[in-house]
């Protein structure tokens, strides 16, 4: 990494400036009287920062919406915000150089929205989908498809064929700076791992070596077990920056991968969708500035986020002090909790920013690690006294059972004991509806067992209805099994005596039937292959606290920005009037519309130095679309071949 370039050599006309954010979760808890506005307030602040900093574009890392089929209220609120902040007469200085038919295959006009003569875009927004707003239900349409059809969002990184992934980048240019933008919308981690293992993931790379390569992904980043996350080492070394969505902990300061040497920025969520420790970190968006092969990212702390204080207390440390082995233990615990809650409410006031739109009533989560069930009290009844002072009085306190043993009592566990301990822990921590259903039918008495459907099918049905709000799933699954059973019974001599034996033959094909059912669900109303994977990862949305989540890196590796003058609109590369279109051969110098407007002088948008990021060599090649002639194969270990 070379020394930062002096700001005197940085030409704003050669600098691409982008606002980066992720996991907006519009519509989360929208029916809650207290917290229903939180997601919309935070998103509006993000859009305001984009406008104030005069950015060239906005990039979102997925989960713009909290559910795949958002309510009409959420869609309306989102459309109003996008129309207010993204439309206008500002000329666009980004030239679009790649094949738009490949980049926006699923869009109505198959073109970037600011080159659509029917749209008047001032700030283009580019977004992939996440696991919450992925295509699902009838027609396999994502909520982002609707915004793309309306022309508000450039929806990229959507896959209609998950038998292989070939990512063609969006190529953008401003002056002397060229950026290649890759998008990988959410795919279940297990399926993505399988595609890597089968060598079916490709990234097309521009022929020239002077492109700054940015990739946007929405997967598990933290190691949650084999095939349950996307290892950074799986990504190719030629990338310069990875914008990582899905994880809600804010780690927006870019962190260098020691092996591949690219940087990873994890913006985190803009609203707390669970009461986990990582959600209590400051919420941020950021201004990404790219100048040729150099970049910097300036975090912006959001001022309208509801204060959230998280605290975990191991009651074993207070056992003797509180005398928890005698007297009214529950009352002693309640007195202790009340004292802690009052202190947390006081600390929450320190997070108030003075912004008039910031919600004032805080979120509080006190986790008490207890050693005896007698220490547990009614947390819901206890929380009622904090109604109006705390935004979540009913789930303000949670208990975590922690059993401690003396050293002489500890004994090595055999394999069966370890397996049993793991299963007990998994059952104790899971709260997903489909897992509850699956566990119920697996453990149910023999007279309550399913005779035709397998438990996995029932859990899939539950997940589709609860997570995806897919009202057609139950009807489709039941009718599918009806057809399969009838096909199995045809041609066989069935009577009352042998019906159980014949059906046992059907149940023996349980795995094949289940896989066929998944294919049926995913291919509904589609002419092509599988639209997207249906398995969701809700690790960051569970109310269970993830102690293993990586914490924010507070070390800054950037030189503080200096104050420089803003720049006006127009000039080389700016967008012209309606119908004008930039090409690879020339800059668009058409007539700009509306009044000229200088850029914001906000210190967070100033650029004086960047980090050097060296472009890596290409290993393999293949002819492709215009401006792209290299294809890099990614193996399961992330090596280029």
Pairing of the two strands 177-184 and 397-401 = unpaired
Task: Tell which residue, 239, 243, 237, 230, has the closest CA to residue 259.
Answer: 237
Torsional sign, CA 102, 105, 111, 112: negative
State the Cα–Cα distance between residues 604 and 4, nearest whole angstrom: 18
State the Cα–Cα distance between residues 6 and 3, nearest whole angstrom: 9
Edge-to-edge strand list for the sheet holding 251-256:
95-96, 170-174, 177-184, 212-218, 241-245, 263-266, 251-256
Do 426 and 228 meet the contact criterion of CB atoms below 8 Å apart? no
For residue 291, what are the β-bridge partners? 15, 294
Place of tokens 């595609």: 195
How big is the CA angle at 71 (ends 68 and 73), to the nearest 5 degrees? Answer: 140
Edge-to-edge strand list for the sheet holding 397-401:
308-314, 363-370, 397-401
Torsional sign, CA 582, 588, 591, 592: positive
Place of tokens 């995806």: 468
Residue 65: DSSP 8-state: B
Maximal C-alpha separation, the chain: 90
State the Cα–Cα distance between residues 458 and 70, nearest whole angstrom: 24
Residues annotated as catalytic are: 132
Do 476 and 524 meet the contact criterion of CB atoms below 8 Å apart? yes
């Amino acid at each position: 990494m070379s020394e930062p370039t002096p700001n005197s050599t940085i030409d704003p006309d050669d600098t691409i400036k982008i606002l980066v954010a992720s996991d907006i979760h519009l519509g989360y808890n929208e029916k809650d009287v207290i917290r229903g506005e939180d997601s919309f307030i935070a998103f509006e602040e993000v859009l305001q920062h984009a406008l104030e900093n005069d950015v060239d574009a906005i990039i979102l890392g997925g989960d713009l919406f909290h559910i795949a089929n958002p309510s009409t209220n959420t869609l309306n609120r989102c459309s109003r915000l996008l129309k207010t902040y993204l439309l206008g007469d500002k000329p666009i200085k980004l030239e679009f150089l790649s094949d738009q038919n490949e980049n926006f295959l699923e869009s109505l006009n198959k073109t970037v929205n600011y080159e659509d003569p029917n749209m008047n875009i001032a700030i283009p927004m580019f977004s992939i989908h996440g696991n919450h707003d992925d295509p699902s239900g009838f027609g396999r349409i994502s909520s982002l498809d609707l915004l793309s059809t309306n022309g508000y969002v450039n929806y990229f990184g959507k896959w209609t064929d998950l038998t292989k992934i070939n990512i063609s980048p969006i190529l953008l240019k401003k002056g002397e700076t060229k950026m290649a933008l890759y998008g990988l919308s959410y795919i279940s981690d297990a399926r993505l791992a399988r595609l890597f293992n089968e060598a079916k993931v490709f990234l097309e790379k521009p022929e020239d070596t002077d492109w700054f390569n940015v990739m946007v992904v929405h997967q598990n980043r933290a190691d949650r077990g084999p095939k349950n996350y996307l290892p950074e080492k799986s990504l190719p070394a030629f990338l310069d920056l990875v914008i990582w969505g899905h994880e809600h902990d804010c780690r927006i300061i870019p962190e260098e991968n020691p092996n591949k040497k690219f940087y990873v920025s994890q913006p985190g969520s803009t609203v707390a969708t669970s009461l986990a420790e990582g959600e209590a970190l400051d919420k941020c968006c950021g201004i990404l500035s790219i100048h040729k092969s150099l970049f910097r990212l300036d975090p912006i702390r959001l001022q309208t986020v509801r204060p959230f204080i998280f605290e975990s207390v191991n009651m074993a440390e207070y056992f003797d002090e509180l005398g928890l082995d005698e007297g009214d233990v529950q009352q002693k615990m309640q007195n202790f909790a009340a004292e802690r809650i009052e202190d947390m409410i006081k600390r929450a006031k320190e997070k108030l920013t003075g912004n008039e739109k910031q919600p004032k009533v805080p979120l509080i989560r006190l986790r008490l690690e207890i050693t005896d069930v007698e220490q547990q009290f009614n947390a819901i009844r206890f929380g009622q006294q904090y109604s109006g002072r705390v935004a979540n009085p009913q789930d303000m306190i949670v208990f975590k059972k922690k059993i401690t043993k003396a050293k002489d009592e500890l004994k090595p566990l055999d394999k069966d004991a370890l397996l049993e301990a793991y299963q007990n822990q998994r059952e104790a921590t899971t709260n997903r509806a489909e897992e509850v259903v699956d566990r119920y039918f697996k453990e149910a008495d023999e007279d309550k067992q399913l005779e035709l459907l397998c438990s996995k099918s029932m859990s899939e049905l539950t997940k589709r209805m609860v997570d995806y709000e897919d009202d057609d799933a139950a009807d489709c699954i039941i009718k599918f099994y009806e057809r399969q059973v009838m096909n199995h019974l045809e041609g066989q001599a069935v009577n009352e005596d042998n019906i159980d034996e014949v059906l046992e033959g059907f149940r023996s094909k349980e795995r094949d039937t289940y896989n066929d059912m998944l294919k049926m669900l995913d291919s509904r109303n589609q002419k092509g292959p599988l639209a997207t994977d249906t398995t969701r990862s809700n690790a960051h949305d569970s109310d269970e606290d993830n102690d293993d989540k990586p914490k924010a890196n507070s070390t800054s590796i950037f030189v503080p920005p200096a104050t420089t003058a803003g720049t006006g609109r127009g000039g080389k590369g700016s967008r012209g009037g309606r119908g004008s279109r930039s090409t690879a051969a020339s800059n668009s110098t058409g007539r700009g519309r509306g009044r000229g407007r200088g850029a914001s002088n906000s210190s967070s948008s100033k650029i004086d130095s960047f980090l050097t990021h060296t472009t890596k060599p290409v290993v393999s090649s293949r002819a492709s679309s215009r401006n792209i002639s290299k294809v890099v194969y990614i193996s399961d270990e992330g090596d280029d071949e």
